[in-house]
Amino acid sequence: MTPGRRSEVRFLVLFAVILTIGFTTVALRPVDHAVVGPFTAFVARLSGAVLAALGEEITVSGSDLRSPRFAVSIHNGCNGLVTSLVLVAGVLAFPASWRAKVAGVVLGLAAVQVINLIRVVSLFYTGVFLPGFFNESHVVVWQSLVILSGVALWLVWARCVVAREPKRP
């Protein structure tokens, strides 16, 4: 096996292992109860704050957003964690310095959550103004966009990391 091929295989194996560990961990009931649930409620509170700033009469209860005009409930899978796990696995598996990896994880997670916040707010307004398109917007459009954005963020990060590496003779 050539050194380049070995590096690619190492990346894919590490990516799969890290992703499996991540998905397994968040699926554990104690982790779901202690981390995922509170995180999802935080996403709901943040989304509610944005909607309130946009003039919506919004009430947040746990992971539910309610207004006289529409209500949404944020569940695991709609909180940005899946995309975050994919991004983190890609960054950690990639051959880069730990400094670059930490920057990639921190900035990437922040970007994923901003994108997911836009998703939740736009889905709320889709429900208000185009309720017949809510399910398609939620399942087809936004789930795809959020996952693709995580992959795109990783690609941009990896390209930046490679561009900063010193050229080998």
| pLDDT beyond 70 at 146 | yes
Among residues 107, 117, 112, 110, the alpha carbon closest in space to that of 53 is found at 117
Tell me the pLDDT band of 7, cut-offs 50, 70 and 90.
confident
Transcribe the chain into DSSP letters: --HHHHHHHHHHHHHHHHHHHHHHHHHSHHHIIIIIHHHHHHHHHHHHHHHHHTT---EEETTEEE-SS-EEE--TTSSSHHHHHHHHHHHHHSS--HHHHHHHHHHHHHHHHHHHHHHHHHHHHHHHH-GGGHHHIIIIIIHHHHHHHHHHHHHHHHHHHHHHSPPP-
Mean pLDDT, all residues of the chain = 93
Q: Residue 154 corresponds to which amino acid? A: W
Average pLDDT of the residues in 42-57: 97
Residues 98-107 have pLDDT tens digits of 999 999 999 9
| pLDDT beyond 80 at 36 | yes
In this prediction the pTM is 0.90
| pLDDT beyond 90 at 41 | yes
Residues 104-137 have pLDDT tens digits of 999 999 999 999 999 999 999 999 999 999 999 9
Tell me the pLDDT band of 3, cut-offs 50, 70 and 90.
confident
| pLDDT beyond 50 at 169 | no
